Amino acid sequence: MNNENAAYYRYNLLLAAASPLLALFLAQRFLSGKSRPGWSERWGHLPSFDSLSPNRIWVHAVSAGEVVASLPILRALKSSFPDHALFLSVITPAGHEVAVKQAAAWLEGLFYAPFDLPWVVKRVVRTLRPQLYVSLESELWPNLLHTLKRHGVNTALVNGRITPRSFERARRFAPGLFRWMLGNVDLLLMQSQADAERVAVLGGAPVEGRIHVVGNTKFDQELHPLDRARREQMKAELRLPLEAPVLVAGSTRSANEERIVVQAFLQMRRRLPSLCLIVAPRQLSRVEETLQILRQANLNPARRTSPQASVTDCLVLDTMGELVDVYAVADVAFLGNTFPPVVQGGGQNILQPLAHGKPVLHGPHYATIRAEVALAQEAGVAFPVANAEELAAKALQLLGDKCLLEKLAQRAQSLIQANRGASQRCIEALAPLLKAGALR
């Protein structure tokens, strides 16, 4: 038995041993509704795609953030390989919703990714029969990658990243698993040199020739700053006073984080009574909780979708996909999922407010966007804060200097422009894999 087969059997023996716990976990996911959408697809039951082109590319993203990162890749793939059918898989309902709204024009198929069980992934690979499989960021599924390789499918990781914490865990607890898993990936296109060095260590010497640093595809998003007339129109739609300054807290993930934002907002209002607040919880299921937190602070929040027409100074965004434009009405933005407790190490899409020229304040946790934050801090357009007091003080400092805000807007938009092009570099690297796949 070779090393690859040995690793495959060890991994699946562990899955079998843990099957009672896995069954309970999956049941909980189904009953809670988190995995209920696409339940049949998650078990590998996809519709037939026999009528579509036999030239097929399967792109996989997890949730909304990874789907956003995939959009420039999907657009470039469709432009460069128009005779190929593109398929996108996701894991979360939020990712599915973003894909429906923003990626449908390029796709021949959208489905929920299969559970990483041998018979399930085999069923999907046999149904889809892709020439190329492309996974986003840090999505590596051992059985799926093993099965794709056994079926002669070329594989790539694009926009790859490995956080320091994930690297240390993998190196300490599962080095053999990662060597086997990365051995099934033909191409590793990483965001930064640090990410490339980490994946080289985890994959061992054989993986080194397959690693390239291409940058971050999120910089290639179609983010268009709104002109003054459109910003004023949006402010009116949001029922905010036209001349009032605005703090937007985007993609907040917890009650604790929102309480910090509210505390800072109340402190700021003592010096800036006209200040308005928009809170956009990352999950729409938390909207009511967010409203309650604001009411407990003696604020009178309104929902974005509320039919009332009265002007408000405190708004909760209860829509999906609108935050990217709402950042345009901000004077200062706070980036959610950066105060504990955070999800997956912390961080959300920092490029959306920067594309509108808005300075970004963030808490101490941002592992999933470490590279973007480093660039933004170096450009002087992102500012770390440790608590509500620092958040209030830094925001007031920025709001008190209109000349500085104008300079920061120029710096932020220049930063976005300077880092574009990663998607095209990815396509150039992927093209040989597609040609090789076509010859098989």
User: 10 Å Cβ neighbour count for 341?
Assistant: 12
CA 343-348-349 angle, 5° bins: 160
d(CA 280, CA 249): 6
Identify the pLDDT of residue 154: 96
pLDDT of amino acid 437: 59
Which pLDDT score is estimated for 438? 55
Range 41-58 average pLDDT? 92
In the chain, the percentage of residues whose pLDDT exceeds 90 is 76
pLDDT band at 383 (very low <50, low <70, confident <90, very high): very high
Mean local confidence (pLDDT), 272-288:
95
**Overall average pLDDT of the 100-112 stretch:** 94
d(CA 124, CA 114): 7
Answer yes or no: is pLDDT of 379 > 80.
yes
pLDDT of res. 111: 96
Helix (H, G, I), strand (E, B) or coil at 312: coil
% of the chain exceeding 70 in pLDDT:
98
Q: 147 pLDDT exceeds 70?
A: yes
Tell me how crowded residue 122 is: count the other CB atoms within 10 A of its CB: 18
| pLDDT greater than 90 at residue 434 | no
The pLDDT value given to residue 34: 77
* Averaged confidence pLDDT in the chain: 92
CA 351/CA 218 separation, integer angstroms: 8
Instruction: Give the pLDDT mean for 66-87.
Output: 93
CB 50 within 8 A of CB 85: no
Angle subtended by helix axes 3-17 and 142-150, to nearest 10: 140
- Cα 11 to its chain centre, rounded Å, is 28
pLDDT 10s digits, 384-427: 999 999 999 999 999 999 999 999 999 999 999 999 999 999 99
pLDDT at residue 231, as a whole number: 92
Distance from C-alpha of 261 to C-alpha of 309, rounded to nearest angstrom: 26
pLDDT tops 70 at residue 2: no
What per-residue confidence (pLDDT) applies to 307? 81
pTM: 0.84
pLDDT tens-place string over residues 334-372: 999 999 999 888 999 999 999 999 999 999 999 888 889
Can you read off the two tokens belonging to residue 137?
């960021």
Residues 205-260: pLDDT tens digits? 778 789 999 999 989 988 888 898 999 999 999 999 999 999 999 999 999 999 99
Q: Kindly tell me the burial class for residue 387, based on how many C-beta atoms sit within 10 Å of its own C-beta (0-12, 13-18, 19 or more).
A: middle
Burial 2-40 (b: 16+ CB within 10 A, else e): eeeeebbeebbeeeeeeeeeeeeeeeeeeeeeebeebee
Encode pLDDT of 292-343 as tens digits: 999 999 999 999 998 876 889 999 999 988 999 999 999 999 999 999 999 8
pLDDT recorded at residue 257: 98
**435 vs 13, higher pLDDT:** 13
